[in-house]
Amino acid sequence: MTDVQSEVRKPLHMVWDPAIVMQMAVANPEWGGLPCPLDGQRNFEHRWIRHEVSYNDLGEMDGLRTVACNLTPGPKQRPTSAAEPVDATGEPVDEAPDTGQNAEDTEDLRGCMRDGYTPEDVNRVFARLESVFGVRLVCVWNYVDALGFGGNSQFYVEHGGRTFELAGDLWRWLNRPPGAADAPATPGHPSSWLGAAVPLTFDYEDWGHNYAARDER
């Protein structure tokens, strides 16, 4: 009888995309702050990292070795999958699509909220950022009533079923005029956007990126 398990092809390489890099940095901040052995930049600053996978005598994965990252690119090295199929040389079987996961592709959003924003603006801008960086952002308003969302508002990051304060440069990148002295040139790496975890509850959401702490309709 054929041993089905023996026919399962184990991946020779594993790729961590932006979301996984961020998850690892959040789960293990010590790892996130360590320098990459290839370029010396901190691990959390990378958009993707490719590892060579090793196995023990039982066929169990027992180690990962960093062999490529977006800061040391080579041919075909724009992976977007966490377990991308590769050939015996480590190259992707099918070239990974270019998802445009970089700040340059969102340059038109820089300073777009400097004159304020509506719930519609929030949904448009945050959906665009999520499509590029893979990070879900939400705006929490004080209340929603018959006229819509109102009161003060605050930006947060949703990740792994939890809500985090928005840290880093993203808020200023969106809300400060591009020519202002305190306006950052880029939104920063997505992993830098995660601040402290906060226990928030909401009475209402628009099934987009807007939440209301109180429903007064």
Q: pLDDT at position 52, please?
A: 79
Residue with tokens 């807007």: 210
Does residue 3 lie in a domain region? no
Q: Which domain range does residue 72 map to?
A: 10-101
Residue where a domain stops, chosen among 101, 120, 142: 101
- Co-location of 24 and 90 in the same domain: yes
Question: Across all residues in the chain, what is the average pLDDT?
Answer: 77
CB atoms within 10 A of CB 155: 19
Distances (CA, A) of 122 to 5, 113, 181, 186, 200: 48, 9, 25, 19, 19
Cα gap 175→79, rounded to integer Å: 32
One domain, residues 92 and 125: no
90 lies in the same domain as 177: no
195 shares a domain with 121: yes
Same domain, residue pair 208 and 111 = yes
- Residues 61, 42: one domain? yes
* 210, 122 Cβ separation under 8 angstroms: yes
- pLDDT for res 102: 57
Q: Are 108 and 91 members of one domain?
A: no
How much is the average pLDDT of 142-163?
91
pTM: 0.57
